[in-house]
Amino acid sequence: MIQVSTCPSPEPYAVMPPVELFMEASFEERRVMLYRDLEKGDIVVGRINNIREYGFFLTLLCTAGGLKRDIEDLELSALCHIREIPSTVSHDDPLSYYHIGDFIRAAVKDIDRYQEKVTVSLHQASLSSKMKHVKLGVIPREELPTHYRYANKGSIMKAITDFELALMNCPDHRNAKKYLCQTLVERGKQ
């Protein structure tokens, strides 16, 4: 799905979905590609699904740094260890600020590609030098990356319009037909 934006650049630009979406890569291939492409210092967004005394676990929803992918369907999780959570002035226990269901923006701290494990950090020092301006921690739904919100969360009518436009330009585009059908089915469910 193509998303056109005019901010902050004065020139319009498009944010394209990852290439594997058009290649019809399998679930396993997409997981391998993500673990291959994800790097220390990249930004990920997830939802807290479990809180323990040693940290919390996130269900990863999307990447949000240089790599921009919706990864919710890959069923990935990440651990944010308590030592990677900055303490807040009003809370002695850094975990007391966090709740199951919170959306979290975090930096990738470590990747074990063989065991398929990701650890994340909320410390600004964990970000790559290009991303130092990004605020880590709890974020409201409105701050979810545009590519994630747009593709999956409530912009179905816009997606339908985009797929129809793509099919007008290229009537035989197999993926546009496929995703238009899937989007129409989702619209019907809603």
Q: What is the 3-state secondary structure (H, E, C) of the chain?
A: CCEEECCCCCCCEEECCCHHHHCCCCHHHHHHHHHHHCCCCCEEEEEEEEEECCEEEEEEEEECCCCCCECHHHCCEEEEEHHHCCCCCCCCCHHHHCCCCCEEEEEEEEEECCCCEEEEECCHHHCCHHHCCCCCEEECHHHCCHHHHHHHCCCHHHHHHHHHHHHHHCCCCHHHHHHHHHHHHHHHHC
Rounded to whole angstroms, the Cα distance separating 135 from 107 reads 10
Query: Per CATH, the architecture of 23-141 is what?
Result: Beta Barrel (2.40)
pLDDT (0 to 100) of residue 11: 54
Q: Radius of gyration of the chain from Cα atoms?
A: 18
Do 30 and 76 form a contact (C-beta atoms < 8 A)?
no
pLDDT (0 to 100) of residue 58: 96
Question: Position 116: which residue type?
Answer: E
- The phi and psi torsions of 147 (rounded to 5 degrees) equal -65, -30
* For the chain, domain boundaries: 23-141, 156-189
State pTM to two decimals.
0.68
pLDDT along the chain (190 residues), means of 10: 47 55 74 87 93 94 79 89 81 80 94 92 88 89 73 62 80 76 68
pLDDT (0 to 100) of residue 155: 61
Do 122 and 84 form a contact (C-beta atoms < 8 A)?
yes
